Amino acid sequence: MRGLFFNSISTGLLFSLLTACGSGGDTANDQGGIVTPPPVVISPPPVDEMLPIPDNRYVDQYQILLVGNSHVSSNNLSSVLSALLEQGTGKTTVATVAPGWAYLDERLSDGVTLAALQSQDWSHVIWQAQKYSTTGQYSYSTAASEYWVALSKQLSATPIMFPEHPQRGNAEEGMRVYLLHLGIAGREASCVAPIGPAWNNAVGMLPQTSFHTDGNHASLAGTLLTALVFYEIISGESADELPYMPQIALAEQLQAQLRQIASATLQQYSGCTY
């Protein structure tokens, strides 16, 4: 089965659909759009066996690559995550956003993602931008996501899937996208950040807080919540034990509430099983 899977990638059978940037808005397929020809795939290196998830919680320093579209860079997610990790663990942390804003299947042939992945000894790679139907009526291949997860492990990096947070007013979307990524991890072992459940919990508990900027992308509060979930998965330390960080322009009480929600969510939805 795995041989067939990687052969399907090398022959370019992953379709690239005309879609909107980010998780907001229906994909072109939802709207009856036309399927474009498959991209030319730059034969990525094969991965021949299912590898366990590398446990890099205890490395001396964190080197993190974030791969995705606009959701990995909203409100400087990488900088917020670095600040949390350095504050909470005392370890030097560098979090880098990979070039481009593309879906993971499109990145198979973009010529830059593979180079970025191979450019350093990353401790963790965060993967965002698996295509999904915002209406839940269509299905998209997850083969590229599974491939990138497998290649991360081959390079001894801990892969973390990043299911997008729900759009404003759509709690069902957040859980559905989270379950989609759990399915990917069931086929190719990976950490999965419970972003949707964390946001659903936060929106329910803090109805006066705005977690979006435009109904789709994260506000600073939303970015901090997402970063706190990643912090706990990457470090193995409780986000709830982090101190108030005045350099993050959110009230002390709100920061404390978001820390509690992140940790409580990860007690209910484990981010990683080694």
Q: Which helix or strand (DSSP H or E) is residue 78 part of? A: helix 77-89
Predicted structure pTM score: 0.84
The yes-or-no verdict on residue 114 having pLDDT over 50 is: yes
Residue 75 CB contacts under 8 Å (≥ 6 apart), including other chains: 218, 219, 220, 222, 223
Summarised one tens digit per residue, pLDDT across range 47-105 is 777 899 999 999 999 999 999 999 998 889 999 999 999 999 999 999 999 999 899 99
Instruction: Identify whether the C-beta of residue 88 lies closer than 8 Å to the C-beta of residue 235.
Output: yes
| Cα separation values, 182 from 135, 188, 196, 270, Å | 19, 10, 12, 11
Residue 43's pLDDT band, with cuts at 50, 70 and 90, is low
At which residue do the structure tokens 């590229």 appear? Answer: 144
Summarised one tens digit per residue, pLDDT across range 208-254 is 999 999 999 999 999 999 999 999 999 999 999 999 999 999 999 99
Give the residue, 116 or 31, on which the prediction is more confident: 116
Q: Give CA 263 to chain center in angstroms.
A: 18
Task: Tell me whether residue 14 is exposed, middle or buried, using C-beta atoms within 10 angstroms of its C-beta: 0 to 12, 13 to 18, 19 or more.
Answer: buried
Q: Where are the domains of the chain?
A: 2-39+60-268
- What residue spans of 90-170 are helical by DSSP H? 113-118, 143-154
Summarised one tens digit per residue, pLDDT across range 68-80 is 999 998 889 999 9
Best CATH choice for the domain 2-39+60-268 from the list 3.20.20.70, 3.40.190.10, 3.40.50.1110, 3.40.50.410: 3.40.50.1110
45 DSSP assignment: P
Q: State residue 136's pLDDT score.
A: 79
Return the minimum-mean-pLDDT range out of 9-13, 119-123, 159-163. 9-13
Q: DSSP string covering 148-187, please?
A: HHHHHHHTTPEEEE-PPPPPTT-HHHHHHHHHHHHHHHHH
67 DSSP assignment: E
- What residue spans of 11-55 are helical by DSSP H? none
At which residue do the structure tokens 């990683």 appear? Answer: 272
- Token digits of residue 164: 């997008």
Percent of the chain topping pLDDT 70: 84
The yes-or-no verdict on residue 12 having pLDDT over 90 is: no
